[in-house]
Amino acid sequence: MQDIRSELAAIADEARALQVARFFQTGPGQYAEGDVFWGIPNPRVREVAKRWLNLNIRQTEKLLRDPVHECRFAALLIWVGQYPKADAYDQQVIFNSYLAHLDFINNWDLVDLSAPQIVGHHLFEKDRRIIYDLAQRPHLWSQRVAIIATLYFIRKNQFSDTLALSKMLLTHPHHLIHKAVGWMLREVGKRDPDAMEEFLHRHIASLPRTTLRYAIEKLPPFRRQYYLSLQF
């Protein structure tokens, strides 16, 4: 454990850490208040994590509980690398531990790199009620995990859960959920434009502006303008 943490600490960049901390909004009252960064670029973290894909579950859990953001990022990369190669028992262990550590998967980048590959993958051929439970929790990161996990389903051309969760989260107050819902709707639209546009028409009056802008980003300019005009 100390070795992987030491590897990461050795490539810390104090000046960059200050910039990254501002970008991820770690100030008082912001969504990542108090998070600690070492300023390591993601490709460098990935290089280190790749060397530690044999880390056992308890060591990875300890790394995931680390106060330093890049350590948590590395822990999730390890699980993302381990999960598809694991047997059914170990996949269940990783999934259970992931859900037990949601308080440490506490920024959008951590959610986005791991929720589809772990939660989405795990639930693809199983009961998916857990993602609806996550979406109903009064916990920002659990809610983002729920909607982003469906990216795995979208890539398999299954859209119903994405659309149902998008409807559930439509009136969520936080911009990180607005963006996540819009992003997933856009991904649906890449594969089934009619499904996305039907959803937009049905919910246009209650769609947050940010969600709408994210959803229609890849549409032709005249279609984007059309949807934006519907909200006035």
How far is CA 159 from each of CA 66, 85, 209, 223, rounded to the nearest angstrom?
35, 26, 22, 22
When computed from its CA atoms, the radius of gyration of the chain, rounded to whole angstroms, is 19
The answer to whether 144 and 115 are in contact (CB under 8 A) is: yes
What integer is the mean pLDDT of 165-180?
Answer: 98
Spans of all domains in the chain: 1-89
Average model confidence (pLDDT) across the chain:
97
pLDDT in the model for residue 232: 73
Cβ neighbours around 84 below 10 Å, total: 10
Is pLDDT at 1 greater than 90 in this prediction? no
Q: What is the pTM of this model?
A: 0.96
Q: In angstroms, rounded to a whole number, what is the distance separating the alpha carbons of residues 209 and 215? A: 10
Helix (H, G, I), strand (E, B) or coil at 36: strand
Task: Kindly tell me if the per-residue pLDDT of 202 is higher than 90.
Answer: yes
Both tokens assigned to 230: 């519907």
- How is residue 144 written in tokens? 């983002």
Are the C-beta atoms of residues 105 and 141 closer than 8 Å to each other? Answer: yes
How does pLDDT run across 19-50, given as a tens digit for each residue?
999 999 999 999 999 999 999 999 999 999 99
pLDDT digits (tens, 9 = 90+) for 180-197: 999 999 999 999 999 999
Cβ atoms within 10 Å, residue 141: 21
d(CA 81, CA 151): 17
Structure confidence by residue, pLDDT tens digits, 72-124? 999 999 999 999 999 999 999 999 999 999 999 999 999 999 999 999 999 99
pLDDT value of residue 2:
58
